[in-house]
Every structure is written in structure tokens, then in C-alpha cells.
Amino acid sequence: MPSADRPSLRNSLSRTGELSIEMTRWPSVTESDGEAAFSGRLIALLGGTPYFRHHPENLLALDSHGTPARQNVLALVRGKGRRCLVLAGHF
């Protein structure tokens, strides 16, 4: 990796860690109001990132189940080339 790319990678990894820690602080116990609110908080968090501010059409939530509705969050980050990486999680 060229040395010019290393600070950018370090910044990205640092931000990823910060986001992960922030999300683990959100209450999301199964069948709780926190679980129902989690997807909205995640959409707001991701929507505030530079990529999704420029590509809001690539970020959405779809109702899944429950009252109030639990939602699945879908986020697409386009890269270059034909390869694809899919990440899935549960909250």
C-alpha cells in the first residue's frame, strides 16, 4: 500500500471503531422500544456520513414485523469493478 494511503486507512478504521462503539451503546433488547427505534437511529447515523449525504437513494429501511414495526436497513456503497461484498448483521 502506498504510504500516502495509510493515513486515510487509519482514519477510516478509527471512524469505523467509533461508529461500532456508538451503536453498541444503543438499547436494542428484543421486543423493546429500543429494538424498534434502532433502525431509525442507524439510518440517521449512516445518513450523516459523506457517502450517504451524496447518495441518499442508496440508504433505506423496510418494515419487517412487529408493532411498532421493526425494520431492516439496506445500505449500498458502490465501488469499482465487478466484485461485490455483502455485510449482514442483526440488532
The answer to whether position 1 is within a domain reads no
pTM of the model: 0.77
pLDDT of residue 43: 94
Q: Taking Cα atoms as reference points, which of 18, 17, 37, 19 lies closest to residue 27?
A: 37
Count CB-CB contacts under 10 A for residue 42.
21
Cα 39 to the chain's mean position, in Å? 9
Q: How many domains does the chain have?
A: 1
The answer to whether position 5 is within a domain reads no
The answer to whether position 67 is within a domain reads yes
Task: Examine the pLDDT at 85 and tell me if it is beyond 80.
Answer: no
Is 18 in a helix, a strand, or coil? helix
More confident residue, 15 or 48: 48
The answer to whether position 85 is within a domain reads no
Q: Which tens digit of pLDDT belongs to each residue from 3-40?
A: 556 776 677 778 788 888 888 999 988 888 999 999 99
Is 63 in a helix, a strand, or coil? strand
Phi, psi of 17 (to 5 degrees): -65, -40
The answer to whether position 42 is within a domain reads yes
Task: Specify whether the CB–CB gap between 45 and 23 falls below 8 A.
Answer: yes
Count CB-CB contacts under 10 A for residue 76.
11
Q: What percent of the chain has pLDDT over 70?
A: 92
Q: Which domain holds residue 41?
A: 28-75
The answer to whether position 64 is within a domain reads yes
More confident residue, 66 or 11: 66
What's the Cα-to-Cα distance from 6 to each of 30, 47, 51, 70, rounded to whole Å? Answer: 40, 26, 20, 39
